[in-house]
Structure 1
Amino acid sequence: MFYGLRALWSQSFRLPTPSLTEKNLPDQAGKVYIITGSNTGVGYQVASILYAHNAKVYIAARTESKALAAIDSIKEQHPKSQGRLEYLSLDLSDLSTIKASAEDFLSREDKLHWLDNNAGVMIPPLGSKGSQGMDLTYQTNILGPFLFTKLLLPILKRTAEGEPKGTVRVSWAGSLAVDLQSPKGGVRWKKGADGKETLDDGNSNPFTYGVSKAANYFFATEFGKRFGEKDGVLHNAYNPGNLASDLQRHMDDQYPSWARRFLHFLLYPVVFGAYTEIYAGLSPDLTLEKDQGAYIIPWGRKGSVRPDLVAEAKKENGEAKKLVDWCEEVTKEFA
């Protein structure tokens, strides 16, 4: 409880000035980025800043019309940009489509400098399911990004071979919920219909969203250990901050009015979340030697998560390893 309150305070109030913004970001010409969920919210702001600095940015999203509208809007804001914006179809809630999305990108590019797993759902309508029948939050926030990233590891490795050390990165979206809404150890398990352990789904687990965000912290640490060090790719996770985005659009259905009022008191403009994410993806402060699996907090600085989660990430057979092994098993037929 004490650590959670400390995290709430340090990541919500009296926050320092962002160190990397559109005002001091270097030219990004020649760089290729994928920002998932960038048709709206924080991802949109990230894509806009990168494009303004001449990067080639893939707007990875489920709905083509919304993505194309976002592309038109960003181009209108930055008419002098020499960058490019491309739509990449990506539905993280349907595992059967993700390989085709990765292959589409690979057919169009031979480099990828940063994969920002920004997309996610928060508080969807009760009972929402992904296309494979699992809780929508787990499919969209855990399994989808896991599979998409695994399929892009080869191009990330190849890109890293020709770039300055530690500059090719994968970032995973955490949240203050990592500290405040995940159970001890980060995840909860149950026996599935086949008798094997599986993630406890949203019907019985009040920590579903927190679990999905803790999972992304575990991905950063475990991918860093398994792939990052040998591939030369830096994996990290971030809490973008408490932001006034459309992630809260279903809150009225599930939270009392006092809770909604308290949350809105904590919210900041979404562009500040973009500063956090851009720091995770581009800041020279982060190095391959010291910051593999790092956790970035608002508005772009190194932080940490609860001690029990750090311990599980460090264990040889902790919850981080168990989660990644489970994701490997669940997604192998779609890889």
Structure 2
Amino acid sequence: MSTFPTFFFETTADEVATAFSQEIKGKNVLITGTSINGIGFETARVVAKHANLVIITGYDSERLKLSEEAIKKDVPTANVRRLTLDLASLAAVRTAAAEVNTYAEPLHVLINNAAAIARPTFKLTADGLELQMATGHIGPFLFTKLLVPKLLASATDQYTPRVVYVSSIAQSMGTGVNFDTIKAPTSEKYNYVDAYCQVKAANVLSAVELSRQSGGKINAYSLHPGHIFTNINQTEEAITKMKNLGMLTPDGRPNEGHNWKTIPQGAATTVAAAFDPRLNDQPGAYLVDSAVANQAIAPHCSDPVNAQRLWNVTEEIIGERFEF
């Protein structure tokens, strides 16, 4: 039996992918949110060195093309396919999923990485949903639901398909998902930091409940990638808030005293959640620094009642039952 290494805070995505190269070999992987200068892009780049196919997504087709070109420049042998996907639109999610379902290949791993930038301004989507929750939870829920046939098509006696949710330590902040405002969001009850925390709590609950609901047919995991200064953090509002918290220096650079990770370090835990065979018997696990850290899950995110309630509410919102 192979012996796999222990990973640490400093471990990079490339190191994790190299350690699990045999597990990645032959796999078809879809990663949402793969813009350059983000952990989704770095995940795609390192996985593309070993995988059979990497499907990258984004709502901006030009930026998506730049990501593909950058990956292929670094990994000339990479088999990369672009998929335009706007997770803030349920209609667009259905269109993108229908395209994936025409692909000849099964899907071994789905990585729900994309998220909306947290902004103070309250914004509703065309579906009447709060933008952060739509992009980070409801859209991915529907997308995952529609891709279940593709995921199940990759299953064998030796392999269980995986779904990975990139959550955050923010899952442990606040009081969890507000089940009233998720269905009927209002500007009066909107706080953009709390909205972000709710989405990340929903990610953890989704991993727990998807693993349970599938009855062992799909293994789902969630994770905290670490504090990373990616493009999603480089808005004026985010920079101002992080300066006030001391996370950034007055001139806008990461403060070394706040345990920032580089993008390669930040993407490491995603790769581990997607491919570490040691997780096979731990569906629903939450990872930090590329290792299981279930003790770090907030009580409101480990509560099976909350998990099932979120599942049921989200099914009501999308108007479809999630079946396996």
**TM-score range for the pair, normalised by the shorter chain length:** 0.7 to 0.9
* CA distance in 2: counterparts of 1:129 and 1:199, whole angstroms: 10
In structure 2, the CA distance between the partners of 1:174 and 1:199, relative to structure 1 (3 Å rule), is farther
* CA distance in 1: counterparts of 2:108 and 2:225, whole angstroms: 20
Give the letter for the 2:27 counterpart: K
Residue 164 (1) aligns with residue 155 (2): no
Residue 36 (1) aligns with residue 27 (2): no
Determine the structure 2 residue equivalent to 1:188.
Answer: 178
Cα RMSD (Å): 2.5
Report deviation, 1:15: 3.0
Query: How does 1:13-24 map onto structure 2 within 5 Å?
Result: 15=9, 17=11, 20-24=15-19
Give the letter for the 2:128 counterpart: G
1:108 aligned counterpart, secondary structure: coil
In structure 2, the CA distance between the partners of 1:270 and 1:188, relative to structure 1 (3 Å rule), is same
* CA distance in 2: counterparts of 1:256 and 1:116, whole angstroms: 28
1:156 aligned counterpart, secondary structure: helix
1:59 aligned counterpart, secondary structure: strand
Query: How does 1:1-335 map onto structure 2 within 5 Å?
Result: 15=9, 17=11, 20-27=15-22, 28-40=24-36, 41-79=38-76, 81=77, 83-160=78-155, 162=156, 164-166=158-160, 168-180=161-173, 182-183=174-175, 186-190=176-180, 198=183, 203-206=188-191, 207-229=194-216, 231=217, 233-252=218-237, 255-256=240-241, 258-259=243-244, 261-262=246-247, 264-265=254-255, 266=258, 267-287=260-280, 290-298=281-289, 300-304=290-294, 305-313=296-304, 318-332=305-319
Report deviation, 1:164: 2.0
In structure 2, the CA distance between the partners of 1:190 and 1:144, relative to structure 1 (3 Å rule), is same
Deviates more, 1:28-37 or 1:169-178: 28-37
Consecutive unaligned residues in structure 1, runs of 5 or more: 1-13, 192-196
* CA distance in 1: counterparts of 2:159 and 2:138, whole angstroms: 29
Contact 1:240 1:273 in 2 (8 A): yes
2:278 aligned counterpart, secondary structure: coil
Contact 2:183 2:317 in 1 (8 A): no
Report deviation, 1:261: 3.6
1:293 aligned counterpart, secondary structure: coil
Give the letter for the 1:187 counterpart: V
* CA distance in 2: counterparts of 1:137 and 1:70, whole angstroms: 23
Deviations 1:184-227 (A, max 9, x none): xx212337xxxxx8365564143111000000100001111111
Contact 1:201 1:208 in 2 (8 A): no
* CA distance in 2: counterparts of 1:307 and 1:256, whole angstroms: 24
Consecutive unaligned residues in structure 2, runs of 5 or more: 1-7, 249-253
Deviations 1:44-78 (A, max 9, x none): 00110011224310011111111111101111112
* CA distance in 2: counterparts of 1:34 and 1:268, whole angstroms: 24
Report deviation, 1:39: 2.5
Determine the structure 2 residue equivalent to 1:6.
Answer: none
Give the letter for the 1:325 counterpart: N
Q: TM-score, normalised by structure 1?
A: 0.82
* CA distance in 2: counterparts of 1:67 and 1:321, whole angstroms: 35
Report deviation, 1:96: 1.2
Report deviation, 1:321: 1.0
Give the letter for the 2:263 counterpart: V
Report deviation, 1:24: 2.8
* CA distance in 1: counterparts of 2:150 and 2:89, whole angstroms: 23
Deviations 1:116-166 (A, max 9, x none): 001112313512332223211011011100000000112211211x26234
* CA distance in 1: counterparts of 2:245 and 2:64, whole angstroms: 29
* CA distance in 2: counterparts of 1:130 and 1:237, whole angstroms: 25
* CA distance in 2: counterparts of 1:38 and 1:323, whole angstroms: 27
In structure 2, the CA distance between the partners of 1:307 and 1:214, relative to structure 1 (3 Å rule), is closer
* Greater than 6 Å deviation, 4+ residue runs: none
